[in-house]
């Protein structure tokens, strides 16, 4: 992973051998603790497929 790289939660979950929902939960905790920023796409969706 690099700075400002688009994150694929399903791919990360597969690599870490955890569920996609677990990855999304972990990312939410990081965002809540201000360690990760969430950006909205111009179309209105999130960057986490």
Query: What's the pLDDT at 42?
Result: 45
Query: What's the pLDDT at 15?
Result: 95
Q: Each residue's pLDDT tens digit in the chain (49 positions)?
A: 556 677 889 999 999 999 999 999 998 888 787 766 665 544 555 555 5
Query: What's the pLDDT at 45?
Result: 54
Cβ-Cβ contacts under 8 Å for 7 (sequence gap 6 or more): 1, 27, 47, 48
Query: What's the pLDDT at 36?
Result: 64
Task: Report the distance separating Cα 36 and Cα 42, nearest Å.
Answer: 19
């Amino acid at each position: 992973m690099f700075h400002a790289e688009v994150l694929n939660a399903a791919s990360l979950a597969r690599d870490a051998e955890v569920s996609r929902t677990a990855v999304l939960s972990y990312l939410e905790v990081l965002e809540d603790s201000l360690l990760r920023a969430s950006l909205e796409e111009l179309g209105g969706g999130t960057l986490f497929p």
